[in-house]
């Protein structure tokens, strides 16, 4: 089959690409894939409203040392705006491997491109995206008693990735077509079909503070804002960039995603970045411990544009998090969870849940893309090491039968830069565990993952889901006839995005969940609550109690 060619029908400018596959989809309430027949759910042209009873169990230690478990019920009202807004996605590090790959991928899907490869004809798809490539169980068929599954994207009215308007910043002024060639990720036959659109896309100048990324990135830095330390001028310029992008493309909302280089950790210092007021003062004074990613986060918070951090550094120092809470702005992070770590969070959960005592994890990586080059610097590697090492903590802490207090598996992470393998990252893992009567089990995995082709669908998911969360509100339901409270947004820290992130952020004082199945369940069950459906228990009692 010959590659399919189609004229581009979107619009381009120096900072954006409109991939819109349907103008109507961005302006009108979509047809629902299903409706819920329940007195607890109401539909209007504007909203879906649901009454939902959240059931949990409170546990207290009794005087005799035994636990006392008490079932609790809390009634909530949810309101979900049905109109899907015209949405922009602005990427920090747009000209990198991830930015160029996700841009080309969205163009290819929008145009329905087909291209030749050595393995045959390939069609554009959104494989790897939870939103676009997975399904969720709606319920059980009334006649056949089989599960009825629907695409995840149809649970609620979500933005379609083809409708996203794409733009962003980069420290390199290379246009997106040339940057795509530099990345060496995509097939030449695909690149040829998107080259015209992408050559017209040039990233906006970005913030560049050399102390925060590896020195080996200096040769890329030819598209930077004046100044090498944080300042109010940088914050205001980024805010203006967001406003200009929004106006130029007629957008309702903009979601900003950091997919640039891993930074070193910023030192958290009292009086510098520990409170909202102090972080703003430190930016004004040009303090050296304010990172570029924190400057972007502050600009987005002040501009009320959700900001997601896809790298492992501590962008969200306490002051930035407090600023987000103060402005009711959404933030989420950290670090894309794509290949090796996603396998780890699934396998460790399986082993420990099976009663097998994992005693050591050794993870070795080598990769040859620019991410690997940047991580060859020890300070930047340390950020990645932290994000990859903490992903088993909650699973270990949950099993005090296997692990006594303070006990933890040995966990070592190594990353080496090997230019020859380019974006085809090699991940080697050995899991060593203790089994019955002092026996041992060793599991060795060799995972070759095309890094950017795994990360790009996560970018799409994070943007689509972050936007979705801006349209969901909740309030405590009145149970005694008293006046109900006003609807309000979810907490500023979007922990619901944890499934896509190695080191998921949570609101202060709340537990971190890394177990993959729990993260997926939280995401799907919150969305089910928005349409008045109970969580799927998988008890299937209807098949067992005959």
3-state secondary structure 514-540: CCHHHHHHHHHHHHHHHCCCCCCCCCC
Residue scoring higher pLDDT (65 or 444): 444
3-class secondary-structure state, position 106: helix
How many residues does the structure list for the chain?
546
Q: Is residue 502 annotated as a catalytic residue, yes or no?
A: yes
Helix axes 176-183, 188-199, angle to 10 degrees: 150
Please determine, for residue 461, whether its predicted confidence score (pLDDT) is greater than 70: yes
Percent of the chain with pLDDT strictly greater than 90: 70
The token duo for 26 is 């961005």
Q: Quick one: average pLDDT of 144-159?
A: 95
For residue 254, report the phi and psi dihedrals to the nearest 5 degrees: -130, 130
pLDDT at 9 (0 to 100)? 34
10 Å Cβ neighbour count for 521?
A: 15
Query: What global pTM score does this model have?
Result: 0.89
pLDDT at 24 (0 to 100)? 35
CB contact set of 532 (below 8 Å; sequence gap of 6+): 36, 38, 40, 41, 50, 51, 52
Q: Is residue 384 annotated as a catalytic residue, yes or no?
A: yes
CB contact set of 546 (below 8 Å; sequence gap of 6+): none
Chain region(s) in the chain for CATH 3.30.360.10: 340-450
pLDDT at 5 (0 to 100)? 37
10 Å Cβ neighbour count for 45?
A: 8
pLDDT at 449 (0 to 100)? 82
CA angle 185, 95, 228 (to 5 degrees): 140
Please determine, for residue 29, whether its predicted confidence score (pLDDT) is greater than 50: no
Please determine, for residue 480, whether its predicted confidence score (pLDDT) is greater than 70: no
What span, in angstroms and rounded, lies between the C-alpha atoms of 102 and 322? Answer: 31
Q: Which of 229-238, 320-329, 383-392, 437-446 has the lowest mean pLDDT?
A: 383-392
Q: What is the CATH number of domain 340-450?
A: 3.30.360.10
Please determine, for residue 343, whether its predicted confidence score (pLDDT) is greater than 70: yes
Q: How far is CA 87 from the centre of its chain?
A: 16
Residue scoring higher pLDDT (379 or 331): 331
pLDDT at 62 (0 to 100)? 85
Whether 199 contacts 150, CB under 8 Å: no
Go through 345-371 and write b for each residue having 16 or more CB atoms within 10 A of its CB, e for each that does not: bebbbebbeeebbbbebebbbbbbbbb
Catalytic, out of 79, 425, 429, 461: 425
| DSSP tag of 143 | T
Q: Which CATH number fits domain 1-337+451-546: 2.30.290.10, 3.40.50.720, 3.40.30.160, 3.30.390.30?
A: 3.40.50.720
Residue scoring higher pLDDT (481 or 320): 320
Catalytic, out of 47, 170, 241, 335: 335
List, for residues 277-307, the tens digit of each pLDDT value: 999 999 999 999 999 999 999 999 999 999 9
What span, in angstroms and rounded, lies between the C-alpha atoms of 42 and 35? Answer: 10
Please determine, for residue 13, whether its predicted confidence score (pLDDT) is greater than 50: no
Chain region(s) in the chain for CATH 3.40.50.720: 1-337+451-546
What span, in angstroms and rounded, lies between the C-alpha atoms of 223 and 65? Answer: 64
Whether 40 contacts 532, CB under 8 Å: yes
Q: Is residue 237 annotated as a catalytic residue, yes or no?
A: no
The token duo for 16 is 């954006």
Please determine, for residue 319, whether its predicted confidence score (pLDDT) is greater than 70: yes
Percent of the chain with pLDDT strictly greater than 70: 90
pLDDT band at 194 (very low <50, low <70, confident <90, very high): very high
Residue scoring higher pLDDT (213 or 231): 231
> Exposed, middle or buried: residue 496 (CB in 10 Å: 0-12, 13-18, 19+)?
buried
CB contact set of 454 (below 8 Å; sequence gap of 6+): 128, 338, 339
Please determine, for residue 156, whether its predicted confidence score (pLDDT) is greater than 90: yes
Please determine, for residue 244, whether its predicted confidence score (pLDDT) is greater than 50: yes
CB contact set of 444 (below 8 Å; sequence gap of 6+): 428, 429, 430, 431
List, for residues 390-420, the tens digit of each pLDDT value: 788 889 999 999 999 989 999 988 888 888 8
Q: Quick one: average pLDDT of 500-521?
A: 90
For residue 299, report the phi and psi dihedrals to the nearest 5 degrees: -60, -45
For residue 506, report the phi and psi dihedrals to the nearest 5 degrees: -135, 160
Catalytic, out of 110, 342, 384, 388: 384
Whether 152 contacts 136, CB under 8 Å: yes
Please determine, for residue 19, whether its predicted confidence score (pLDDT) is greater than 80: no
10 Å Cβ neighbour count for 235?
A: 22
CB contact set of 105 (below 8 Å; sequence gap of 6+): 124, 126, 456
Q: Is residue 425 annotated as a catalytic residue, yes or no?
A: yes
């Amino acid at each position: 089959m010959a590659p399919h060619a189609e004229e581009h029908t979107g619009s381009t400018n120096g900072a954006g690409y409109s991939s819109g596959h349907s103008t109507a989809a961005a302006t009108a309430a979509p047809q629902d894939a299903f409706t819920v027949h329940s007195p607890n759910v109401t539909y209007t042209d504007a909203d879906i409203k649901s009454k939902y009873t959240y059931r949990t169990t409170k546990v207290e230690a009794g005087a005799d040392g035994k636990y006392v478990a008490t079932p609790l019920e809390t009634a909530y009202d949810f309101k979900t705006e049905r109109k899907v807004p015209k949405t922009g996605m602005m990427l920090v590090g747009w000209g990198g491997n991830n930015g160029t790959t996700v841009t080309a991928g969205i163009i290819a899907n929008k145009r329905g491109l087909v291209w030749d490869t050595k393995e045959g004809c390939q069609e554009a798809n959104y494989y790897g995206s939870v939103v676009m490539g997975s399904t969720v169980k709606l319920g059980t068929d009334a006649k056949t008693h089989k599960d009825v599954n629907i695409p995840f994207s149809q649970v609620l009215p979500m933005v379609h990735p083809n409708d996203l308007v794409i733009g962003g910043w980069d420290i390199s002024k290379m246009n997106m077509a040339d940057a795509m060639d530099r990345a060496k990720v995509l097939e030449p036959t695909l690149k040829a079909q998107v080259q015209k659109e992408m050559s017209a896309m040039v990233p906006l100048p970005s913030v560049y503070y050399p102390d925060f990324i590896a020195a080996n990135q200096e040769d890329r830095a030819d598209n930077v804002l004046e100044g090498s330390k944080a300042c109010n001028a940088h914050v205001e310029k980024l805010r203006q960039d967001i406003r200009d992008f929004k106006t130029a493309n007629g957008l309702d909302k903009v979601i900003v995603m950091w997919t640039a280089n891993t930074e070193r950790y910023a030192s958290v210092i009292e009086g510098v970045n520990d409170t909202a007021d102090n972080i703003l003062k430190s930016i004004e004074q040009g303090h050296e411990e304010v990172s570029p990613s924190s400057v972007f986060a502050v600009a987005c918070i002040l501009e009320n544009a959700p900001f997601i951090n896809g790298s492992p550094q501590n962008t969200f120092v306490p002051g930035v998090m407090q600023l987000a809470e103060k402005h009711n702005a959404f933030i989420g992070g950290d670090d894309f969870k794509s290949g090796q770590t996603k396998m780890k969070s699934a396998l460790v959960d399986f082993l420990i849940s099976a009663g097998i005592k994992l005693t050591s994890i050794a993870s070795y990586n080598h990769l040859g893309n620019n991410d690997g080059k940047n991580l060859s610097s020890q300070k930047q590697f340390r950020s990645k090491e932290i994000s990859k090492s903490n992903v088993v903590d909650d699973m270990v802490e949950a099993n005090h039968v296997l692990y006594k207090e303070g006990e933890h598996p040995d966990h070592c992470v190594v990353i080496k830069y090997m230019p020859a393998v380019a974006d085809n990252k090699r991940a080697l893992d050995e899991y060593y565990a203790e089994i019955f009567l002092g026996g041992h089990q060793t599991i060795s995995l060799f995972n070759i993952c095309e890094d950017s082709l795994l990360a790009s669908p996560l970018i799409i998911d994070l943007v689509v889901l972050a936007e979705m969360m801006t349209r969901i509100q909740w309030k405590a339901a009145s149970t005694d006839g008293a006046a109900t409270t006003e609807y309000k947004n979810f907490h500023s820290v979007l922990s619901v995005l944890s499934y896509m992130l190695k080191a998921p952020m949570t609101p202060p004082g709340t537990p971190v969940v890394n177990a993959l199945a729990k993260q997926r369940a939280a995401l799907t069950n919150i969305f089910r609550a928005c349409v008045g459906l109970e969580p799927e228990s998988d008890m299937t009692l209807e098949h067992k109690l005959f």
